[in-house]
Amino acid sequence: MPGFSIVIICRNEAATIGRTLESLKGLTDDIIVYDNGSTDGTQHIVREYDAILHEGKWEGFGKTKQRAIGLAKYNWILSLDADEAIDSELNNSLATLQFDNERTVYDIRFRNFLGNKYMRYGEWGGDHHIRLFNRNTVQYDDAPVHEQLILPKDVIIIKIRGHVLHATMKDVHEYAEKMIQYAMLNALKYYGLGKRSSWFRIRFAPAFTFFNYYILRLGFLDGHEGFVCAKMTAWYTFLKYTRLRELWKNQQKKE
């Protein structure tokens, strides 16, 4: 049976990287941690585990993940973030996979947490992602944020048992900072793709986002945290489209 590598990119994840690496013990002899300039001691924690530390520059999510994957020993890749541990059921599933078809990818369920709260509904409820694949047939795109895997048309998607345990944000302060960062990056991404904003979108897209996640997708059942999550995503949506409109106006001034 071929082996597989685990690849993690990180920056300033001292609060979570230990928990993630602890959950991966015994799965493989090739755990790659690609650090992008941590200043909080993340590197020291990584060295305490059976992981291989590499350090390099940040090139956006897509390009950075691809660079880190290129450092792996095996062609089969489990791609994780530093705040994504795995549960025992997923650990067992990974230990028994055969990896006999390069055109197979594996879809993994997520359990997302806001602080200590498991988010069962809303935006994060029922979350799942393809995170296990063969790098000979699948790779990430070059997107600076919200990167996606480029999948062949004839790819076989298999769901496996177990969960990734995603510690999304430790508190509202960190949540707000990330939403601003992602909104600015996504606005720049949309601008590069030629997408535009509008008066209508800036005013109504955030409201629909909140209604969708809090009401239609039952975010209110997650209590206060469900409300916070829906409001933050609505705010992110407002910032993204407002910044996108600003980028186009700045371009017009230069012309």
For 4-169, CATH gives 3.90.550.10
Closest CA to 246 of 159, 187, 206, 195: 187
99-114 pLDDT, tens per residue?
999 999 999 999 999 9
Size of the chain in residues = 255
The residues facing 140 across adjacent strands are 149
Q: Cβ(34)–Cβ(59) under 8 Å?
A: no
Q: What is the pTM of this model?
A: 0.90
Specify the residue for token string 């020291």.
44
The pLDDT assigned to 252 comes to: 87
Strands (E) in 135-250, as ranges, are 139-140, 149-150, 156-169
Q: How confident is the model at residue 145 (pLDDT cuts 50, 70, 90)?
A: confident
Give the integer Cα–Cα distance in Å for 66 and 142: 8
Extents of the domains making up the chain: 4-169, 172-254
Quick one: what percent of the chain has pLDDT higher than 90? 94
Strands (E) in 59-141, as ranges, are 76-81, 84-86, 104-114, 117-118, 128-134, 139-140
Q: Cβ(5)–Cβ(73) under 8 Å?
A: yes
Closest CA to 14 of 43, 54, 42, 49: 42
The pLDDT assigned to 121 comes to: 98
Closest CA to 126 of 142, 145, 107: 107
The pLDDT assigned to 253 comes to: 84
The pLDDT assigned to 83 comes to: 96
